Amino acid sequence: MDDCMLAWFCLPCGSAISKSRADRTNCCYNLLCWSPCGSYNYVRNEYNIAGVCGDDMCYTTLCTPCMVKQALTESRLRGAARNTGSYDANVNDWDFSLFDCSCCELCHLCFCTPCAAHTIHQNLHEKQISCCFTFLCTNPLGWYGQVRNNYGIITDFPVCEDVCLPMVCFLCAMNRAKKQSEKKINRVANPESNNGEIVWGGAPKAPPRIPQM
C-alpha cells in the first residue's frame, strides 16, 4: 500500500527511494539527479532483470506510476543488489584529480557530453546500453555521484559533492568520472603480474617463444 501511495501521489520520491534501495545511493541525490525512467532502468540493470531500454521508455510514456510502483516493489523485496566489495564503502580514493583534464578531453566533453555519459553508463553496468536512452532519459549531472558511489570513493559530504560539484565544475567532474570508470573496467579486463605486484590495464602480454631444437 505504501508503494502505491508513493508511486501515485509522490512519484519523484518513489522513484528516488526505489533506486536508493537497489544501489544504496542517497535518496536526495537520486531525487535531484535521476529521472523516473533513468531510475527504473538502473534498478532493472542492478538486479539483472531481462528487458530493453525501449521498453523502459515506453513504460514511462504509457504509465509512469505503474513503472515506479514496480520498481518500488522489486527493490523492497530484493534489497540492495550488491553487498560485497567496495560498493558504497567510502574507503577508496579517486585515481584522478578533478582538474586532471587535457584540452582534447575538455573539447570532447563540451561538444559531445551525451557520448561521455553513455560511456560511463556502459562501464558501470558492463553491458550494452542504448545511447539514445542515455541521451533522452538520464541526467548527465548524475553520473559523477554514481561513479563515486559504485567504486566506494571517499567523501565527507556525499550529497553536496555528488549534486553540487557537477553543477559548479561540470566538465571536470564528468571527465573525472569517465576516466575512473574506464580505469576500473581495464582493471577487471586486463590484470597483469609484475614482480609480485598486480598491474592493471594495458594489453595482455604474449607468452615467451620457445626456440625449436
pLDDT at 128: 78
Q: CA–CA separation, 151 vs 46, rounded Å?
A: 14
Q: pTM, whole model, 2 decimals? A: 0.80
| Amino acid present at 158 | P
DSSP symbol at 16: H
Indicate if the alpha-carbon torsion angle 122, 126, 149, 192 is positive or negative: negative
List the chain pLDDT tens, one digit each, 213 residues.
Answer: 688 988 889 999 999 999 999 988 999 999 999 999 999 999 998 898 988 888 999 988 899 999 999 999 999 999 888 754 556 677 889 999 999 989 999 999 999 999 999 999 999 887 778 888 999 999 999 999 999 999 989 888 889 999 999 999 999 999 999 999 998 877 655 555 333 333 333 333 334 444 454
| Amino acid present at 42 | Y
Question: Contact, 88 vs 24, CB < 8 A?
Answer: yes
pLDDT at 142: 94
pLDDT at 211: 47
Report the candidate in 141, 201, 130 with the shortest Cα–Cα distance to residue 177.
141
pLDDT at 207: 42
Residues 6+ apart with CB under 8 A from 59: 37, 40, 66, 67
